């Protein structure tokens, strides 16, 4: 990575663990004796597989260079120049634990990224984005 561009995506190991969890849950759905438990295992398998597929398909999730930002979603790639995009850090406290998210707004669109989607601390990502801006 050079100083004129940067990109962030979910960590490959995290995506692999999600896929492995989906396979385990799918096996549990077929092997579990009670119908209600099998349904819960099946739902878990679908959710884990969908999240893992999302982590694979939208790589890199966020990319930036001196011209602006590129954000990949399931609907495609969104490009914003630096004057269009506003970046901020939001801190929330849930269950006694503080978490930080990176918010990027452009026009009427808002994108919120946590460390899972970025594969990095949102504070560090904001620092890089500020330097590129």
pLDDT of the chain, 133 residues: tens digit per residue: 456 888 999 888 889 999 999 999 988 888 877 888 888 888 999 999 999 998 888 888 999 988 889 999 888 889 999 999 999 999 888 888 888 999 999 888 899 998 888 989 999 999 999 888 8
In whole angstroms, what is the distance from residue 20 CA to residue 39 CA?
A: 18
Contact 109, 78 (CB under 8 A): yes
Q: Which DSSP category does 81 fall into?
A: E
What separation, in Å, do the N-terminal and C-terminal C-alpha atoms of the chain show? 17
Q: Give the strands of the sheet with 5-8, arranged side by side.
A: 5-8, 62-65, 68-73, 76-81
């Amino acid at each position: 990575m050079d100083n004129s561009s940067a990109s962030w995506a979910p960590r490959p190991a995290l995506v692999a663990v999600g896929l492995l969890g989906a396979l385990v849950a799918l096996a549990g759905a077929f092997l579990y004796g009670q119908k209600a438990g099998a349904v819960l295992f099946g739902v878990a398998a679908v959710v884990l597989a969908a999240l893992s597929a999302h982590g694979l398909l939208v790589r890199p999730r966020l990319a930036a260079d001196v011209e602006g930002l590129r954000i990949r979603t399931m609907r495609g790639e969104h490009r914003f120049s630096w004057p269009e995009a506003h970046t901020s850090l939001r801190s929330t406290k849930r269950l006694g634990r503080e978490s930080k998210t990176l918010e990027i707004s452009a026009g009427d669109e808002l994108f919120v990224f946590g460390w899972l989607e970025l594969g990095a601390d949102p504070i560090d990502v904001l620092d890089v984005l500020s330097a590129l801006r």
